[in-house]
Amino acid sequence: MERNTTVCIVDDDEAVRDSMRILVESYGYQVHDYPSASAFLAEGGPGGADCLVLDLHMPEMDGLELVGELHRRSVRTPTIMVTGRKDDFLAQRARKAEVLALLYKPVAAGELIGWIERALEQGPAAG
């Protein structure tokens, strides 16, 4: 089933990024994926994205820094953050940054798709 929605995935781990892209595409979503926050911003950023899936820990600019940059640009695309490290302080920072969910790798397929669907139902937050 083809859906008229776009999910952007930003993760510096190519294998993780590819597996998430394949999974999300298998549910009929259009996917754009990027190896870094700077590549995402350089290629137009969230233009047309309905949901963002961001890795928390990336070189140069991490996921929370990317969310902060998007907020400075008045972009409030629903965002899901993924990380391989459990850290209560980071979870608090993610909530303050209006991240919809913080998921821990490896993320179960149903969990990721469920949160993407919630993000798409929510739509852009008021900015």
Q: Mind listing the pLDDT tens digit for each residue in 2-58?
A: 578 999 999 999 999 999 999 999 999 999 999 999 999 999 878 889 999 999 999
- 13-20 contact pairs (CB < 8 A, 24+): 13/55, 16/55, 16/82, 16/105, 20/53, 20/107, 20/112
* pLDDT tens by residue, 71-83: 999 999 999 999 9
Under CATH, domain 6-122 is a member of which superfamily?
Answer: Response regulator (3.40.50.2300)
Residue 95 has pLDDT above 50, yes or no: yes
Provide the mean pLDDT of the chain: 92
Q: Rounded mean pLDDT of 109-123? A: 94
Most confident range (mean pLDDT) of 2-6, 44-48, 62-66, 120-124 is: 62-66
User: Domain spans of the chain?
Assistant: 6-122
